A = this chain, B = another copy of it.
Amino acid sequence: MQKMNSKNKIFIDKLRSSGLRPTNQRVEISKFLFNRKKTFHFTVEQLKNSMNLKRSKKISTATFYNTVHALKSAGYLKEFSLENNTSYYDTNVTSHHHFFDNGKVIDIKSDKITFQKLPEAPKGKKIKNVEVVIRLENNN
């Protein structure tokens, strides 16, 4: 049974509105993802490793994937792709930009980049969003 301390209400609500019952595993995942002040960028594997590291009874891989997918479908997480092979997820679900520095992802707020010129969408199409990736390297 779930002790419904109102401290966790916000994390439980995200699960509920994603169509998931707030089980213990899911509440822990939701807290781990959303109980932070800064945007969190992660892969499912990273999430699993960092959460399971400090646990005696591990949460299964399938539960991580299922929970992340449900939260994504409900709009609480955004999936993106930088390097191939792995999906990244972002707790900042607004359309925004990124620095990408050797595997590390940093948010750039939308208002930090503005355009002087943008192409029009091909006929029959319209623009859904415009996202910028700025790749970094060390100077010297």
Q: Which residues of A contact B (CB under 8 A)?
A: 79, 81-87, 99, 101, 106, 108, 112-119, 121-122, 124-139
Pick 23 A–B contacts, CB within 8 A, sort by A.
A79-B84, A81-B81, A84-B84, A85-B87, A99-B119, A101-B122, A112-B117, A112-B118, A112-B119, A113-B117, A113-B118, A113-B119, A115-B115, A115-B116, A116-B116, A119-B134, A121-B136, A126-B139, A127-B134, A128-B136, A128-B137, A130-B132, A131-B135
Overall SS of chain A's interface: strand
Q: Which chain B positions have C-beta within 8 A of A82? A: 81
This chain: how many copies in the complex? 2
CB distance from A51 to the nearest CB of B (A): 21
When A81-B81, A135-B131 are in contact, do A114 and B113 touch as well, CB less than 8 Å? no
Q: A84-B87, A136-B125, A137-B126 are in contact. Are A108 and B119 (CB under 8 A)?
A: yes
Interfacial chain B residues near A126, Cβ < 8 Å:
136-139
**B137 contacts A125, CB within 8 Å?**
yes
Bound state CA distance, A4 and B127, in angstroms?
Answer: 48
Q: Which residues of B contact A114 (CB under 8 A)?
A: 115-117
Q: Is the CB of B136 within 8 A of A127?
A: yes
For A132, the chain B residues whose CB sits under 8 A away are: 130-132
B115 touches A113 (CB 8 A): yes
